[in-house]
């Protein structure tokens, strides 16, 4: 063990880590529990900028591209014609990536706020030609609630919250808020069945590591027939990739509805900002009566050089290190997390595969606390929106690394797919479906043990 500690200290000096590893932070398997992103993709920063750091080991050229992607990620887009960063709209949800992914982390769901990161997918019955959600006539696949001057936004969404009280056996009461969403100021009537799905912008750090996990590793987590009897099965989503024209394993997005970081980035530019690219060349307002015919055959708004830089920027964002791993309350909470079988979905440890272009993500032991699979989360979290193989009750397991820093990166933290939960405790209490047993067992814990679980999660 001492030799391993010395070796890690040498590696720390070479790679620029700011501290040597103390032997006390190693677990029984000989791994430092603080290294959530592995040896080269973990950063020791617990400030509001914890999610914004690049992985170690980038070459001079790669560091230059990463920086260019960082600049583009924070750049505000404007309407055309513009020499650079033009093409905004004509309808959109926001004007930059950073406006939704605050400090490269999670967004805020405040309706009507310019900093709001809550958007709404919309669909009608059936599926599109690739098996994905069927677009709503006149609206496409997403509600754009902002527009350029002279253009009408598609709609506004109002949010009303109802109080839901949860009483623990010890008499402690926690208040949840249940959202109701209403479309208002529609630019044209909605015809036929309509499904709305709220989506709060998720964090973008660590995605390069998740992309490197081998497909077989993810599929091995599936227990379709619940052979172990824990009530957890899990399901893979297979989705259409518009870049490769192939059906691929989904691993990104709140319903695992995207297979690659490239498609995730290009689709966000297209749908959230109305900015087209070589991957998503069609304006988000395609099919609308206010669509300008000249936009149908226009060149992509975003050059491939910029698009690729942003993709690389996101792919090379490091993961914050765990904190307080030796704290007795944290260690107690970690034991309870496993005993409750929260780890049945939130897998603590995964081994990545090999990516010759990204050594920092290759063959790394990481701690994302996700299986990247779909799980039935029950009626209370259902949105009735099908997304390829994902049903209206199914959501991808949210990675938990960094969750304890949301308050610092956001100011006010929000959790779950729509931000309804204001605390980690509230998020746990909303769990249902496959997570119902774990949630109910959490409710039965003493307040001291419940607090220990929360304290552990805040160490991630």
Residue 133 phi, psi dihedral angles, 5° rounding: -60, 140
Residues, the chain: 460
Who contacts 324 (Cβ-Cβ below 8 Å, separation ≥6)?
330, 459
Q: Given the structure tokens 């043990």, which residue do they identify?
A: 449
pLDDT digits (tens, 9 = 90+) for 317-345: 999 999 999 999 999 999 999 999 999 99
Specify whether the backbone of 93 is left (phi greater than 0), alpha (psi in -120 to 50) or beta.
alpha
Cα distances from 279 to residues 45, 243, 444, in angstroms, run 35, 6, 49
pLDDT digits (tens, 9 = 90+) for 231-278: 999 999 999 999 999 999 999 999 999 999 999 999 999 999 999 999
Q: Are 172 and 447 in contact (CB under 8 A)?
A: yes
Structure tokens at 362: 């290759």
Integer Cα distance of 119 and 200 in angstroms: 6
Cα distances from 135 to residues 129, 186, 392, 449, in angstroms, run 11, 16, 16, 46
CA 176 to chain centre: 22
Q: Are 395 and 374 in contact (CB under 8 A)?
A: yes
How many CB atoms are located within 10 Å of the residue 216 CB?
Answer: 8
Cα distances from 178 to residues 20, 108, 117, 453, in angstroms, run 46, 16, 18, 24
Q: Are 93 and 286 in contact (CB under 8 A)?
A: no
Q: What is the 3-state secondary structure (H, E, C) of the chain?
A: CHHHHHHHHHHHHHHCCCCCCCHHHECCCCCECCCCCCCCCEECCCCCCCCCCECCCCCHHHHHHHHHHHHHHHCCCCCCCCCCCCCCCCEECCCCCCCCCHHHCCCECCCCCCCECEEEEEEEEEECCCCCEECECCCECEECCEECCCCCCCCEEEEEEEEEEEECCCCCEEEEEEEEEEEECCCCCCCCCCEEEEEECCCCCCHHHHHHCCHHHHHCCCCCCCCCCCCCCCECEEEEECCCCEEEEECECCCCCECCHHHHHHHHHHHHHCCCCCCCCCCCCCCCCCCCHHHCCCCCCCCHHHHHHHHHHHHCECEECCCCCCCHHHHHHHHHHHHCCHHHCCCCCEECCCCCCCHHHCCCEECCCCCCCEEECCCCCCCCCCECCECCCEEECCCCCCHHHHHHHHCCCCECCCCCECCHHHHHHHCCHHHHHHHHHHHHCCHHHHHHHHHHHHCC
Integer Cα distance of 19 and 179 in angstroms: 45
Q: What is the pTM of this model?
A: 0.92
Per residue of the chain (460 residues), what is the pLDDT tens digit? 333 333 433 333 333 343 333 445 666 666 899 999 999 999 999 999 999 999 999 999 999 999 999 999 999 999 988 878 889 989 999 999 999 999 999 988 875 555 579 999 999 999 999 999 999 999 999 999 999 998 999 999 999 999 999 999 999 999 999 999 999 999 999 988 999 999 999 999 999 999 999 999 999 999 988 888 999 999 999 999 999 999 999 999 999 999 999 999 999 999 999 999 999 999 888 777 656 555 556 789 999 999 999 999 999 999 999 999 999 999 999 999 999 999 999 999 999 999 998 999 999 999 999 999 999 999 999 999 999 999 999 999 999 999 999 999 988 899 999 999 999 999 999 999 999 999 999 999 999 999 999 999 999 9
């Amino acid at each position: 063990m001492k030799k391993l500690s010395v070796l890690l200290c040498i590696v720390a000096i070479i790679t620029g880590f700011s501290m040597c590893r103390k032997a006390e932070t190693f677990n029984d398997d000989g791994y430092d529990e603080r290294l959530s992103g592995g040896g080269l993709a973990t950063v020791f920063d617990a400030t509001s900028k914890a999610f914004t750091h690049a992985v170690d080991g980038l070459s001079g050229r790669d560091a230059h591209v990463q920086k260019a992607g960082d600049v583009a990620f924070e750049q505000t887009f404007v309407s055309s014609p513009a020499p650079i960063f033009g093409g905004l709209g004509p309808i959109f949800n926001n004007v930059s990536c950073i406006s939704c992914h605050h400090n490269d982390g999670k967004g805020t769901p405040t309706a009507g706020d310019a900093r709001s990161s809550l958007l709404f997918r919309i669909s009608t019955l059936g599926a599109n030609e690739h098996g994905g959600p069927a677009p709503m006539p006149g609206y496409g696949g997403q509600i754009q609630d902002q527009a350029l001057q002279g253009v009408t936004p598609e709609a506004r969404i109002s949010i009303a919250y109802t109080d839901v009280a949860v009483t623990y056996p010890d008499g402690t009461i926690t208040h949840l808020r249940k959202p109701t969403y209403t479309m208002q100021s529609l630019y044209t009537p909605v015809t036929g069945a309509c499904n709305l799905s709220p989506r709060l912008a998720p964090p973008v750090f660590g995605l390069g590591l998740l992309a490197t996990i081998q497909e077989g590793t993810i599929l091995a987590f599936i227990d379709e027939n619940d052979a172990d009897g824990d009530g957890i099965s899990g399901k893979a989503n297979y989705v259409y990739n518009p870049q490769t024209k192939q059906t691929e394993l989904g691993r990104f997005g709140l319903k695992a509805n995207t297979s690659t970081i490239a498609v995730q980035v290009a689709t966000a530019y297209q749908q959230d900002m109305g900015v087209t690219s070589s991957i998503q060349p069609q304006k988000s307002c395609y099919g609308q009566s206010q669509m300008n015919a000249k936009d149908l055959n226009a060149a992509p708004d975003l050059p491939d050089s910029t698009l690729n830089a942003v993709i690389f920027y996101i792919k090379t964002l490091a993961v914050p290190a765990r904190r307080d791993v030796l704290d007795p309350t944290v260690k107690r909470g970690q034991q309870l997390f496993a005993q409750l079988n929260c780890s049945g979905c939130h897998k603590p440890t995964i081994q990545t595969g090999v990516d010759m272009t990204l050594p920092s993500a290759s063959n790394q032991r990481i701690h994302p606390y996700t299986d990247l699979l779909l799980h039935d989360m029950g009626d209370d979290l259902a949105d009735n929106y099908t997304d390829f193989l994902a049903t209206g009750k199914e959501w991808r397991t949210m990675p938990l690394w960094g969750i304890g820093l949301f308050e610092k990166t956001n100011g006010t933290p929000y959790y779950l797919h729509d931000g309804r939960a204001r605390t980690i405790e509230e998020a746990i209490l909303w769990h249902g479906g496959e997570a119902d047993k774990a949630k109910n067992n959490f409710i039965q814990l003493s307040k001291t043990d419940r607090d220990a679980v929360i304290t552990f999660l805040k160490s991630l």
